[in-house]
């Protein structure tokens, strides 16, 4: 049959196919191969007719017979609505086909997605409806996906329902959006209703964690509180619930309740996790300006992570020497890499300031840590003025550079951007006037100024600043970055 089809002898190929069917009644193979040969010859209507005839001939002996082939053929014809219906039939007959069906339909053009989902959602088969829900997830509509999926999980308590809920929860979480995480939580909560302990307790803990990740602390808290005192829950689920509950209380800024909960959990949470939660509480205290309580909470903790936090407490109190000592004791491995970079930057700043105590600088940095960037910029300008009056031009330049970077952060408004440009210009002026310790800040400020100009689409001005930086400070450590920015800036200059 294949040979005759390749030789373009359709009548002989059909005769061979019918002889094959007669020799093997009840088998899908003859219909499948015959339709494939016709489709390869781009005779799609005839191929579809063969497959439909095969479905009728096979009757009820094989549910979903030739549905996959009909779906593939419909996709080749560009009829995605029919492809969806056929994939729904195939998945209904063999639910393990559902992931394959979802993958085949995921790339449907946006203009045809409504018809595809309608064909599946209106199908009476729960498996077809679940397929439609998975596609809605893939296409970025988690809430509607859950509305379709939830009633389709009809066989409560069955392994199939549990598997479907777990798969849907994982797919929703993979979206990485708050709404996706919320839908993941809903699926996990439903999973907890259809599985026995201890799986149910773990599912509820995971659901609460998903709610936390979605930012819905109020919804997560009662779930966690119930699970934390559930004596029937396994130890690891209780530990997860208690840990997540403390995290939720910290995120809600209910620090006293978080402290009490952490003290009450005892050995139900592993020691390393308790220590990590304690440090998270300290960081939250610092953000609220409760430096004494933060310092008290660190008493007796000899870890490098605690040393790093004590360094920040000392720095925010204005004790620069103690802060630097603690940062050095913490070394480069406390916290994450970003934390180490921040500590290194602060050490460099303190070396330029050259004071053991500077309460005004501590207040300015604490203002920044508490999220008040405008207030921090104003405070840093005032502290820079104090250093300038003392003749510490290098320290003043570093503080102004920091203030400029804060003012120029992505998302800053026009007024803050103007402030940043003024600050960068002042640092460049200080560096141009010479003086001890002023050399490093000036080229860094000019680089930041150029980046700000590029964000403002002022490429010509950015090029001018970058060329000045490279020529004036050839030994600066920022020159390689400046060269890369210069290439980018030149590419943004309109051709004359």
Indicate the domain borders of the chain: 153-269
Question: Residue 63: which pLDDT band, with cuts at 50, 70 and 90?
Answer: low
Provide the pLDDT for residue 380. 96
Helix/strand/coil for 417: helix
d(CA 424, CA 333): 32
Provide the pLDDT for residue 62. 60
Half-sphere CA count of 268, side-chain side, radius 13 A:
24
Q: Which residue has the higher pLDDT, 46 or 273?
A: 273
Domain 153-269 classification at class level: mainly alpha
Instruction: Tell me the per-residue pLDDT of 81-133, one tens digit each, with 9 for 90 and over.
Output: 988 988 888 888 888 888 988 998 988 899 899 999 999 999 988 889 999 99
CB burial of residue 337 (10 Å; 0-12, 13-18, 19+): exposed
Flag whether pLDDT at 233 surpasses 80: no
Q: What is the mean pLDDT of the chain?
A: 86
- Measured in whole angstroms, the distance separating CA 405 from the mean position of its chain's CA atoms is 26
Provide the pLDDT for residue 207. 86
* DSSP assigned state of 494: P
Provide the pLDDT for residue 49. 79
How many other CB atoms are there within 10 angstroms of residue 373's CB atom? 16
Flag whether pLDDT at 300 surpasses 60: yes
**Torsions phi, psi of 132, nearest 5?**
-60, -40
d(CA 290, CA 492): 47
Provide the pLDDT for residue 400. 95
Query: What is the pLDDT averaged over residues 362-375?
Result: 94
Sequence-separated (6 or more) residues with CB below 8 Å from residue 248:
208, 212, 217, 220, 221, 224
Q: Which residue has the higher pLDDT, 196 or 373?
A: 373
pTM of the model: 0.64
Helix/strand/coil for 394: helix
Sequence-separated (6 or more) residues with CB below 8 Å from residue 145:
133, 134, 136, 137, 168, 172, 183
Flag whether pLDDT at 145 surpasses 60: yes
Query: What is the pLDDT averaged over residues 488-493?
Result: 80
Provide the pLDDT for residue 136. 94
Q: Which residue has the higher pLDDT, 471 or 33?
A: 471
Instruction: Tell me the per-residue pLDDT of 431-485, one tens digit each, with 9 for 90 and over.
Output: 765 555 556 889 999 999 999 999 999 999 999 999 999 999 999 999 999 999 9
387 within 8 A of 399, measured Cβ to Cβ: yes
Query: What is the pLDDT averaged over residues 142-155?
Result: 85
Instruction: Tell me the per-residue pLDDT of 164-223, one tens digit each, with 9 for 90 and over.
Output: 899 999 999 888 888 999 999 889 988 888 888 778 888 888 888 888 888 888 788 888
Instruction: Tell me the per-residue pLDDT of 354-367, one tens digit each, with 9 for 90 and over.
Output: 889 999 999 999 99
Which contacts of 400-406 are long-range, i.e. CB under 8 A and separated by 24 or more positions? 400/426, 400/427, 400/430, 400/441, 400/445, 401/427, 401/441, 401/444, 401/445, 401/448, 402/349, 403/376, 403/377, 404/445, 404/448, 404/449, 405/448, 406/368, 406/373, 406/376, 406/377, 406/380
* DSSP assigned state of 112: G
Question: Residue 311: which pLDDT band, with cuts at 50, 70 and 90?
Answer: very high
Sequence-separated (6 or more) residues with CB below 8 Å from residue 439:
431, 473, 476
Provide the pLDDT for residue 141. 93
Half-sphere CA count of 227, side-chain side, radius 13 A:
32
**Please, which residues bridge with residue 357 across strands?**
319
The percent of residues in the chain predicted with pLDDT above 70, rounded, is: 95
**Torsions phi, psi of 357, nearest 5?**
-130, 140
């Amino acid at each position: 049959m294949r040979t005759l089809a390749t030789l373009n002898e359709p009548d002989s190929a059909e005769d061979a196919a019918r002889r094959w069917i007669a020799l093997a009644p009840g088998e899908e193979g003859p219909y499948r191969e015959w339709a494939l040969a016709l489709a390869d010859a781009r005779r799609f209507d005839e191929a579809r007719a063969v497959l439909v005839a095969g479905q009728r001939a096979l009757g009820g002996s094989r549910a979903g017979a030739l549905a996959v082939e009909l779906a593939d053929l419909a996709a080749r014809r560009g009829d995605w609505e029919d492809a969806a219906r056929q994939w729904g039939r195939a998945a209904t007959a063999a639910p393990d086909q559902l992931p394959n069906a979802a993958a085949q339909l995921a790339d449907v053009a946006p203009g045809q997605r409504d018809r595809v989902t309608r064909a599946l959602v209106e199908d009476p088969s729960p498996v077809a409806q679940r397929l439609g829900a998975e596609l809605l997830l893939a296409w970025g509509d988690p809430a509607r996906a859950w509305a379709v999926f939830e009633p389709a999980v009809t066989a409560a308590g069955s392994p199939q329902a549990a598997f479907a809920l777990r798969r849907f929860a994982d797919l929703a979480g993979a979206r990485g959006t708050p709404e996706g995480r919320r839908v993941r939580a809903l699926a996990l909560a439903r999973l907890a209703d259809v599985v026995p302990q201890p799986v149910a307790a773990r599912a509820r803990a995971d659901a609460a964690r998903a709610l936390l990740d979605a930012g819905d602390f109020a919804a997560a808290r009662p779930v966690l509180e119930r699970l934390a005192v559930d004596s029937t829950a396994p130890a690891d689920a209780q530990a997860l619930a208690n840990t997540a509950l403390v995290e939720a209380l910290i995120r809600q800024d209910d620090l006293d309740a978080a402290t009490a909960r952490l003290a009450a959990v005892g050995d139900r949470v592993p020691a390393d996790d308790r220590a990590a939660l304690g440090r998270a509480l300290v960081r939250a205290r610092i953000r609220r300006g409760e430096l004494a309580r933060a310092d008290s909470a660190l008493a007796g903790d000899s870890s490098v992570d605690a040393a790093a936090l004590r360094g920040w407490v000392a720095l925010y109190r204005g004790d620069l020497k103690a802060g630097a000592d603690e940062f050095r004791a913490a070394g480069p491995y406390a916290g994450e890499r970003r934390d180490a970079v921040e500590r290194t930057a602060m050490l460099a700043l303190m070396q330029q300031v050259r004071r053991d105590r500077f309460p005004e600088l501590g207040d300015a940095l604490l203002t920044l840590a508490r999220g008040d960037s405008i207030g921090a910029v104003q405070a840093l300008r005032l502290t820079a003025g104090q250093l300038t009056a003392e003749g510490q031009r290098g320290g003043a330049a570093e503080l102004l550079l920091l203030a400029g970077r804060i003012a120029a952060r992505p998302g800053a408004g026009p007024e803050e951007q103007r402030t940043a440009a003024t600050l960068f210009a002042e640092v460049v002026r200080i560096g141009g006037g010479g003086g001890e310790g002023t050399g490093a800040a000036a080229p860094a400020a000019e680089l930041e100024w150029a980046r700000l100009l590029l964000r403002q689409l002022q490429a010509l001005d950015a090029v001018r600043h970058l060329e000045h930086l490279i020529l004036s400070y050839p030994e600066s450590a920022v020159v390689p970055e400046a060269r890369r920015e210069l290439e980018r800036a030149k590419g943004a200059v309109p051709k004359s």
